[in-house]
Amino acid sequence: MSNFKISGSPSRGLWGATLGFFFGMAAVSLFGPSAARFKESMDLDPAMMGILVAIPSLSGSLLRIPFGAWVDTTGGKKPFVILMILSLIGILGLTWLLNTHYPSDMQGFYPLVLLFGLLSGCGVATFSVGIGQTSYWYPQKKQGMALGMYGGVGTIAPGLFAMLIPIYITHFGFVSSYTAWSVFLLIGTVLYIWMGKNAPYFQYKKNGMSDADSIAAAKQSGEELFPKGSIKQSLIDSAKIPATWVLTALYFASFGGFLALTEWYPSFWEQFYGLKPIHAGLFTATFSILSAVVRVLAGPLSDKIGGGKLCMFAMLLLLVSAFGMGLSSNFAMSLIFTILIAVAMGVNDTAVFQLVPYYIPKAVGGASGWIGGIGAFGGFVIPPIMGYIAGKYGKMGYAWGFEVFVLLALINMAILYFALMKKKKAAVENK
pLDDT of 160 > 70? The answer is yes
Contacts of 216 (CB under 8 A, 6+ apart): none
pLDDT score for 431? 39
Residues 221-242: what's their mean pLDDT?
A: 84
Q: pLDDT value at position 426? A: 42
Q: Is the pLDDT of residue 2 over 90?
A: no
The predicted structure's pLDDT at residue 430: 38
* pLDDT, mean of residues 225-244: 84
Average pLDDT over residues 106-133: 94
Long-range contacts, 62-65 (Cβ 8 Å, 24+):
62/125, 62/373, 62/377, 63/122, 63/125, 63/373, 64/125, 64/127, 64/128, 64/369, 64/372, 64/373, 64/376, 65/128, 65/235, 65/369, 65/370, 65/372, 65/373, 65/374
| Average pLDDT over every residue of 56-75 | 89
Give DSSP secondary structure letters for 257-310. Answer: HHHHHHHHHHHHHHHHH---HHHHHHHHHHHHHHHHHHHHHHHHHHHHH-HHHH
DSSP letter for 27, please.
G
Confidence label for 145 from pLDDT (cuts 50, 70 and 90): confident
pLDDT value at residue 422: 64
In this predicted structure, the answer to whether residue 394 has a pLDDT above a threshold of 60 is yes
424 or 239, greater pLDDT: 239
Q: Which of 117-121, 270-274, 358-362 has the lowest mean pLDDT?
A: 358-362
Residue range 397-414, pLDDT digits in tens: 999 999 999 999 999 999
Determine the pLDDT at residue 5. 86
- Assessment of whether the complete model's pTM goes beyond 0.85: yes
How much of the chain exceeds pLDDT 90, in percent?
A: 72
Alpha-carbon span 100 to 329, nearest angstrom: 40
Indicate the pLDDT class of residue 429, thresholds 50, 70 and 90: very low
Q: How big, in percent rounded to 5, are the helix, strand and coil portions of the chain?
A: 85, 0, 15
Range picked from 32-46, 218-232, 311-325 for highest mean pLDDT: 311-325
Confidence of residue 427 (pLDDT cuts 50, 70, 90): very low
Please give the Cα distance from 7 to 215 (Å, whole number): 16
The pLDDT of residue 66 is above 80: yes
Average pLDDT over residues 191-203: 95
The confidence band for 421, taking pLDDT boundaries of 50, 70 and 90, is low
Express each pLDDT in 284-324 by its tens digit.
999 999 999 998 888 778 778 888 899 999 999 999 999 99
Structural domains in the chain, CATH included, are 10-196+228-429 (1.20.1250.20)
